[in-house]
Amino acid sequence: MERLVGMLPFILVIVVFFWWMTASQRKAAKQRQEMLGGIKVGDSVETVARMYGRVVEVSDSDVVLDVSAVRNERYKIRMHREAIARKIVEDEGAESSKKDASKEGGEKSSESDKKSAFGA
């Protein structure tokens, strides 16, 4: 009986640690399922194979992605919904600030943005 009482704190620490590890995994799995369930046509996504594309068709278990690099050509691939790693969320605040800056500075600000982006 004394051994059991002596081991009780050790057992309690193991149980709490196990619960903590599984709780974080359950939370991450729930967030992933919500993300996959919220995918709709027009969303930009990244696949587990690190391919980027825009969703053009959604079914219960599959999605069709447009992975075209050039807008004149259409390359579509069908894949399982679980193959999507993440949804790419474009920062609306950054886009609106760029639009405001281009209105103030005219064409020159957008050219300077292009030059700074390419290191020239």
pLDDT tens, residue by residue, 9-63: 899 999 999 998 899 899 999 999 999 999 999 999 999 999 999 999 999 899 9
Is 69 among the domain residues?
yes
Same domain, 28 and 47: no
**7 or 71, higher pLDDT:** 7
For residues 51 and 84, state if they share a domain: yes
pTM of the entire structure?
Answer: 0.57
Non-local CB neighbours of 74 within 8 Å, separated by 6+ positions: 66, 68
32 and 7 in one domain?
Answer: yes
63: how many CB neighbours lie within 10 A of its CB? 25
pLDDT given at position 110: 47
| Average pLDDT, integer, range 81-99 | 73
Are 26 and 50 in a shared domain? no
Check whether 96 has a pLDDT greater than 80. Answer: no
pLDDT at 118 > cutoff 50: no
Q: Check whether residue 23 and residue 54 sit in a common domain.
A: no
The residue segments making up the domain with residue 31 are 1-37
Beta carbons of 61 and 73 less than 8 angstroms apart: no
Does residue 59 share a domain with residue 33?
no
Number of compact structural domains in the chain: 2
| Rounded-to-10 torsion of CA 104, 105, 106, 110 | -120
Query: Tokens 């193991």 sit at which residue?
Result: 14
In a domain, 115, yes or no: no
Residue found under tokens 């004394």: 2
Q: Are residues 32 and 44 in the same domain?
A: no
Tell me: pLDDT of 108 over 50.
Answer: no
Pull the structure tokens for residue 95: 């886009």
